[in-house]
């Protein structure tokens, strides 16, 4: 049951990284497993077996959520964008009580308010900087591989730092739809055993995956340092990022027409998200 629960947490984190406005790191915080993941990543050399025991079910679940649910999320977001967005909003908000418990244990002083406000504004204003980035044409070239490597590192930062939506940043830069299309194309090629499409997907996505892997280890080390030496202020900054996350989501919702059914089912989806975050959360953290 513990392994299944960890995989469920991982699948939500993986799916969250597909949704613009949602941060996988935020859901990890909400479910109380963020510190444990960071520790496992940064101590994988010192405690390989222990780290793998922690990371494996979460990583498998995240992979299934990211790849397997990419089709489902795309469909739900296309057919029910408001309800889907509010579901993830509930997942984010559902973990705030557990974060507040952690914050109360730490002494932070007056610096916590400026840190909270700065981090809140940093993310809350992002959706209004660029309504829609011009989409990039992915091609097989050295320059594009270098760009995708950098995009992978940027995505790693967004995955590791709670409250920062990698999907939204990629949307602004024009890489979100092309990369999502390439991932689904690769999966279609894999299912159909189309070697040409699979090879194209590997060559295009490979540099981004490499940058993602390297970035996760580098940025996880930075986050471990902050959590170890400035845990109180770091969590206040994270709280600001988390409170700002729904701003980006709600800014997207306002673009769609709503009626009573949409509002009712949207509120139900948000409540389901809050309950799910509460159920999957680590209450001992």
Average pLDDT over residues 113-119: 87
108: tokens are 């932070």
157: tokens are 């930062």
User: When comparing pLDDT for 116 and 92, which is higher?
Assistant: 116
Least confident of 16-20, 67-71, 278-282: 278-282
The DSSP 8-state label assigned to residue 64 in this structure reads I
Cα 285 vs. chain centroid, distance in angstroms?
Answer: 20
The residue written with tokens 């959520």 in the block is 65
127 pLDDT above the threshold of 70: no
Residues 187 and 67: beta-carbon distance below 8 Å = yes
128 pLDDT above the threshold of 80: no
User: When comparing pLDDT for 26 and 13, which is higher?
Assistant: 13
Residues contacting 234, CB < 8 A, separation 6+: 223, 226, 227
Average pLDDT over residues 124-148: 72
Residues 115 and 236: beta-carbon distance below 8 Å = yes
The residue written with tokens 């002494």 in the block is 107
How much is the mean pLDDT over the chain? 78
The pLDDT tens digits for 211-245 are 988 888 888 888 888 878 888 888 888 888 778 77
Average pLDDT over residues 118-142: 71
Residues 66 and 17: beta-carbon distance below 8 Å = yes
| Extents of the domains making up the chain | 2-280
Average pLDDT over residues 197-218: 87
Average pLDDT over residues 254-268: 85
The pLDDT tens digits for 144-181 are 889 889 888 887 877 777 766 667 677 667 777 788 78
How far is 90 from 269, CA to CA, in rounded Å? 8
What pLDDT sits at residue 1? 56
What pLDDT sits at residue 13? 78
CA distances, 17 to each of 34, 47, 169, 189, 216 (Å): 15, 27, 11, 22, 14
What pLDDT sits at residue 285? 41
How far is 232 from 51, CA to CA, in rounded Å? 25
């Amino acid at each position: 049951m513990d392994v299944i629960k960890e995989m469920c947490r991982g699948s939500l984190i993986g799916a969250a990284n597909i949704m613009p406005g949602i941060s996988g790191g935020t859901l990890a915080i909400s479910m109380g497993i963020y510190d444990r993941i960071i520790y496992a990543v940064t101590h994988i050399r010192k405690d390989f077996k222990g780290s793998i025991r922690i990371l494996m079910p979460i990583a498998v679940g995240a992979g299934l959520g990211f790849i397997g649910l990419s089709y489902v999320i795309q469909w739900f977001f296309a057919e029910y964008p408001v309800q889907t967005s509010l579901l993830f909003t509930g997942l984010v908000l559902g973990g705030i009580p557990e974060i507040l418990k952690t914050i109360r244990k730490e002494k932070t002083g007056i610096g916590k308010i400026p840190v909270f406000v700065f981090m809140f504004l940093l993310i809350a204003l992002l959706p209004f900087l660029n309504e829609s980035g011009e989409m990039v044409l992915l091609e097989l070239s050295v320059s594009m591989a270098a760009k995708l490597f950098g995009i992978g590192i940027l995505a790693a930062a967004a995955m590791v730092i709670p409250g920062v939506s990698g999907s939204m940043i990629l949307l602004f830069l024009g890489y979100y739809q092309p990369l999502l299309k390439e991932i689904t194309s690769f999966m279609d090629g894999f299912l159909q055993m189309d070697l040409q499409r699979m090879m194209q997907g590997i060559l295009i996505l490979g540099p981004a995956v490499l940058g993602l892997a390297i970035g996760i280890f580098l940025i996880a080390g930075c986050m471990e340092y902050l959590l170890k030496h400035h845990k109180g202020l770091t969590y206040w900054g994270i709280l600001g990022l988390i409170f700002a996350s729904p701003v980006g989501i709600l800014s997207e919702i306002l673009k769609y027409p709503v009626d009573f059914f949409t509002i009712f089912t949207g509120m139900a989806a948000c409540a389901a998200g809050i309950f799910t975050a509460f159920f999957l959360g680590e209450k001992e953290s």
